Amino acid sequence: MPRFRVSVAAVFLSLLTGAVAQAANATQCQSNLTQAGAPPNSTKVLILGGGMAGVIAARTLQQQGITDYVIVEAKHVFGGRMSQTTFGTNGSYVIEKGANWIHGTQTGSGPANPVWLLAKNHSLQMVESHLFTNITFFDYNGPNDYSATFNASLTAFDNARALAGQRWQQNQTDLDLRSAYNYMGVSPKTPQEEACEYYQIDYTDAYRSHRSLDAQDASQTSSLAAAWNYNYTFDSDVGYSDVDMLSVDPRGIACIVQAEAATFLNTSQVLFNQSVKTIQYSQSGVTVQTESGYTLSADHALVTFSVGVLQGTDVSFEPALPDWKRVAISNIEMPVYTKIFLQFEKKFWFDTEIGLYADQQKGRYPVWQSLDYPGIYPGSGIIFVTVTGDYANYLEQLNKNTTQVQLEVMEVLRRMYPNAPDPIDIFLPVWGRAPLFRGSYSNWGASFRPQHSYELRAPVNGHLWFAGEGTSLKYFGFLQGAYLEGENAANNIAACIKNSTRCPSTS
């Protein structure tokens, strides 16, 4: 197919008008970028993707005195996997399709999570979640207090983290979490034990990424990567704090990057509604073609796409990425984490934040969180259930068949509450099949080696750079991982632009 070049200026104004109109409906945070005309076809740096990593990279370049850059964003607003929608019969509630929480804040005068600081700077409305101490327990027979089993599962995970650290210090082979648990003599045998393990590994450490690790089971998670990922955020001795802040802001959690972008960006530095199709790179620079036919060139390009996109065929690299880069991309996983939102006429469920359900089939609609809760959306009648792993993939295959999803979800809810009525509204987002994301967040599997992480973030040919939560060794899966990786990559690009001796090899 012949390539063709379209002038950005030729259609920029119409695209910008549409983008601003849509953004005005979606957010109050991004409608005031400084007017400066159309972005150029040629620039110093192309930043591909306008999520947390992309916006913070742009801000870092700006702080380094480099203003000759363009962010290419496929959507009409910044945010990436931070994305909200309205929900409810009258559309009066804002729910988060992706990231909900800021994980880890600050302990005393210790290191502060930069995303926490960003949220405070833009007055994001948040409430603290207490997801380990505010739980009601159920199984397939109804209410059943197995809190002692739950506490034992927390201890098992702490012991697995300690074992991973010991093995790393002794230069021993990494274990997946299932093998680590078996080594310690821990193996769930009952539905209640399986539900508790699920909450600690498959769900809790999944939400802490969206708290951090996995939307898959213990056999698919590196115990070493899990330990590092947890400790650097939640252990106050080496990380931030064991605090999770839930966004309840009607502007959506994406506001923190949208409002930040509005403090420094002008319209000549952003191109919205453009999906990247092809990335050509050589020792002289990078050329990018979009699905709409734009051709953009730059000395450097920073790729901030999710690892799910890098693993697929939605974007092609010419020439193909080198073998060492493809191996690194292939070794990290991009699991799916799905939230199913339900609204009822009125609340009839538990008064805690969480309801944990143990089914005879592990992972079957197990974790329920009430949004009809003080400080969140009291009186809303909204609750959501989270699934990960195989069940999340199964829901993706249903292709948003909400009738079937509702039947299955309500079968479980009526085991918890036999007289539960039908919902008046239902919504579930799709992440695995979404071409801009191809999953919810990254996770290192049992074949993890630290070298893979280094190679995932390493530049190619001196001009093609990579950043995102997936390239962070310490904070993969977290917003702070995306923030810090975008900042680090931009600082390295700036150093290269200012002093060629600090550029990476072009071989």
Q: What is the pLDDT along the chain (507 residues), one digit of tens a residue?
A: 333 333 344 333 333 433 333 333 344 787 778 888 888 899 999 999 999 999 999 999 999 999 999 999 999 999 999 999 999 988 889 999 988 899 999 999 999 999 999 999 999 999 999 888 899 999 999 999 999 999 998 898 888 878 877 887 787 777 777 788 888 888 889 999 999 988 877 765 444 444 333 444 555 677 676 666 666 676 766 788 889 999 999 999 999 999 999 999 999 999 999 999 999 999 999 999 999 999 999 999 999 999 999 999 999 999 999 999 999 999 888 888 899 999 999 999 999 999 999 999 988 999 999 999 999 999 999 999 998 888 888 888 887 789 999 999 999 999 999 999 999 999 999 888 888 889 888 877 766 778 888 999 999 999 999 999 999 988 888 899 999 999 999 999 999 999 999 999 876
Confidence (pLDDT) at 348: 98
Confidence (pLDDT) at 427: 94
Confidence (pLDDT) at 331: 87
Confidence (pLDDT) at 217: 54
Distance CA 26, CA 253 (A): 12
One-letter amino acid of 248:
V
* Closest-CA residue to 355 (of 343, 371, 370, 340): 370
Q: Are 119 and 99 in contact (CB under 8 A)?
A: no
Confidence (pLDDT) at 204: 55
Confidence (pLDDT) at 495: 98
Q: Are 61 and 318 in contact (CB under 8 A)?
A: no
Confidence (pLDDT) at 227: 67
Tokens matching residue 12: 């920029």
Confidence (pLDDT) at 231: 62
Distance CA 255, CA 279 (A): 29
| Sign of the four-CA dihedral 490, 495, 498, 501 | negative
Confidence (pLDDT) at 289: 97
Residue 436 CA to its chain's centroid (Å): 12
Please tell me whether residue 432 adopts helix, strand or coil conformation: coil
- Beta-carbon contacts of 10 under 8 Å, excluding residues fewer than 6 positions away, are none
* Residue matched to tokens 């790179």: 281
Q: Are 291 and 277 in contact (CB under 8 A)?
A: yes
pTM of the model: 0.87
Confidence (pLDDT) at 15: 39
* Closest-CA residue to 227 (of 248, 205, 244, 242): 205
Distance CA 128, CA 375 (A): 9
* Closest-CA residue to 502 (of 296, 300, 281): 300
Confidence (pLDDT) at 246: 94
**Helical spans, DSSP H, in 235-273:** 255-262
Distance CA 475, CA 479 (A): 8
Distance CA 65, CA 159 (A): 48
- Beta-carbon contacts of 21 under 8 Å, excluding residues fewer than 6 positions away, are none
Confidence (pLDDT) at 70: 98
Strand partners, 356: 137, 367
Q: Are 32 and 63 in contact (CB under 8 A)?
A: no
* Closest-CA residue to 98 (of 503, 463, 374, 436): 436
